[in-house]
Amino acid sequence: MAIIIVVTNQKGGVGKTTTAIHLAHGLSLHGKRVLILDFDPQGQAAIALGLEAEPGIFNLLINGLAEIRKTGRDNLHIIPGNNTTATAQIQLNSESRPLSHIRDSIKSVLRHYDYIILDTAPSAGGVQERAIFASEHVLLPTATDFLSSDGLVRGYEMLAQLREQRQWKGSLLGILPTFYDEISKESRAHLAALKKNFPKAVLSPIHHATILRECASEGVTIFEKDPKSRAGREYSKLVKVALQRA
């Protein structure tokens, strides 16, 4: 039965999709069967893997169809999303579909995978809450700058609310500092504040790296472009954390 990990934050631009696809690909390179669900209406998870954005998530959420696509990588599959995902969110809310709707929608594929990675949009309002409720573990990426703090706090509070009010049984896999730059005083201070406020939850940071932007534009992951680079080593470390904890 698959372990579901959601990668989420209520602020955009913190490296969610980059983290989701690298976590997924890294797990698959360890021989795990992995499925990515791209709940972001921009469909960037598919694009970052060199694939086309498609209405797969809309069809999953509204029609119950699991249109799984190959990624060209062993053990790694995806259900892509596109701008129709936003329409699905509106429909889910207007029809008052239950908080368990995403979990219910993927029941048929759980036994075929070891891990399912959910990449979410940076907003509350329906799909994000249902994605978290479907998961066993939550990974919260946050850029190491002042403006990212609010999104992290709101995301952390959402987990507490779902646990207390809706009996969510999941746990926090970790807070992942991203775009870290040790030369920047702000970046160093933000990382120190994260470690002080969440001493047991903060994972090793992912440094700011031009090579990760290059990977996205080329439709490859760091494990294909340069696994021995610092970014490759850092994402490999994250994968090992997931294997140990999830």
Q: Does domain 3-245 have CATH number 3.40.50.300?
A: yes
Q: Is the pLDDT confidence value at 67 over 70? A: yes
Return mean pLDDT, the chain: 94
Locate all alpha helices (DSSP H) within 173-229, ordered by sequence: 185-197, 210-218, 222-225
Q: How many CB atoms lie within 10 A of CB 174?
A: 22
Sign of CA dihedral 206, 207, 210, 211: negative
Q: What are phi and psi of 44, to 5 degrees?
A: -75, -20
Q: How many CB atoms lie within 10 A of CB 207?
A: 17
Q: Is the pLDDT confidence value at 182 over 60? A: yes
Average pLDDT over residues 119-124: 79
The pTM (predicted TM-score) of the whole model is 0.96
For 76-95, how does the pLDDT look when each residue is reduced to its tens digit (9 = 90+)? 999 999 999 989 989 988 99
In whole angstroms, what is the distance from residue 46 CA to residue 243 CA? 23
Among 124-133, 180-189, 209-218, the minimum mean pLDDT is found in 124-133
Q: In this predicted structure, what is the pLDDT of residue 125?
A: 62
Average pLDDT over residues 145-168: 88
Q: Which sequence spans correspond to the domains of the chain?
A: 3-245
For 19-61, how does the pLDDT look when each residue is reduced to its tens digit (9 = 90+)? 999 999 999 999 999 999 999 888 999 999 999 999 999 999 9
